[in-house]
């Protein structure tokens, strides 16, 4: 590639295609999954509801365990995380993001490689109905955002061979006047306790207006069985 084009490159899919051309070529099963997921639109509410009183009582035991999530030099994103399904041997404070996990493991890891529940997951029985329905899960974690916390606009794994799709549960202080999720240039209509399938391959960003906004991110292995499970629990 000519040097004059390099300043435009964000995710180097050109380099990936050259070094591992088969990675970006979907199988027929992957195409079937992506086609069905596309039918659900940018987001779809699910029939699950979280018992927030029970969740808040259980998560309070971990109030001193939260660790910074994706800290960036020179920025103060004001967000923390806890791991629920991680790599083998992970504690709730380990391997939260893919870059951290890859550095810790010394190898490339994918979302579906995070298939080991942590002690925190075992203790949070308030979310077991939701999570166990799709288990085994991929990388699954909590994010706590304080006032002023933000995620800048981004897309997660925007290619047909992604190994997982995402479900989000909005747990604490995530009403429309407390927490904002802008998805594909529109605000998600969320309330605390809601559970949604969200197409995070689309551009999205978040912002918290108050302290202690907590939401759950679940990476669900992208299999036809899990897509059918998802379709079976749509709210409408």
Domain residue ranges in the chain: 11-232
Beginning with the edge strand found earlier in the chain, give each strand of the sheet holding 150-154 in spatial order: 150-154, 204-208, 179-183, 186-187
Average pLDDT for 144-151: 90
Per-residue pLDDT at 206: 92
Per-residue pLDDT at 99: 85
**Does residue 16 carry a pLDDT above 90?**
no
Three-state secondary structure readout of 32-81: HHHHHHHCCCCEEEECCCCCHHHHHHHHHHHCCCCEECCCCCCCCCCEEE
Q: Which two tokens stand for residue 201?
A: 């391959």
Superfamily of chain region 11-232: B-lactam Antibiotic, Isopenicillin N Synthase; Chain (2.60.120.330)
Cβ-based neighbours of 69, under 8 Å, separated by 6 or more? 77, 79, 80, 81, 96, 97, 141, 143
Per-residue pLDDT at 72: 65
* Residues 74-110 pLDDT 10s: 565 688 999 999 999 999 998 788 888 888 888 889 9
* Residues 35-73 pLDDT 10s: 999 999 999 999 999 999 999 999 999 999 999 987 765
CB 195 within 8 A of CB 208: no
Per-residue pLDDT at 8: 45
């Amino acid at each position: 590639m000519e040097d004059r084009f390099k300043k435009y490159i964000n995710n180097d899919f050109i380099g990936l295609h050259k070094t591992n051309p088969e990675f970006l070529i979907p199988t027929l099963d992957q195409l079937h999954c992506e086609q069905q997921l596309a039918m659900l639109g940018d987001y779809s509410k699910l029939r699950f509801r979280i018992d927030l009183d029970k969740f808040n009582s259980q998560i309070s035991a971990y109030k001193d365990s939260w660790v910074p999530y994706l800290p960036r030099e020179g920025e103060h994103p004001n967000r923390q995380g806890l791991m629920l399904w991680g790599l083998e041997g992970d504690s709730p404070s380990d391997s939260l993001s893919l870059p951290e996990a890859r550095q810790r493991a010394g190898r490339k890891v994918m979302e579906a490689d995070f298939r080991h529940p942590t002690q925190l997951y075992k203790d949070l029985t308030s979310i077991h109905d939701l999570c166990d329905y799709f288990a085994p899960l991929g990388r699954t974690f909590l994010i706590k955002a304080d006032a002023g916390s933000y995620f800048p606009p981004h897309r997660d794994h925007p290619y047909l061979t992604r190994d997982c799709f995402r479900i989000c549960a909005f747990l604490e202080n995530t009403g429309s006047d407390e927490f904002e999720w802008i998805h594909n240039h529109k605000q998600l209509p969320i309330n605390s306790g809601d559970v949604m399938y969200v197409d995070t391959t689309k551009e999205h960003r978040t912002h918290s207006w108050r302290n202690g906004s907590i939401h759950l991110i679940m990476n669900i292995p992208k299999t036809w069985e899990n897509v059918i499970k998802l379709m079976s629990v749509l709210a409408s």
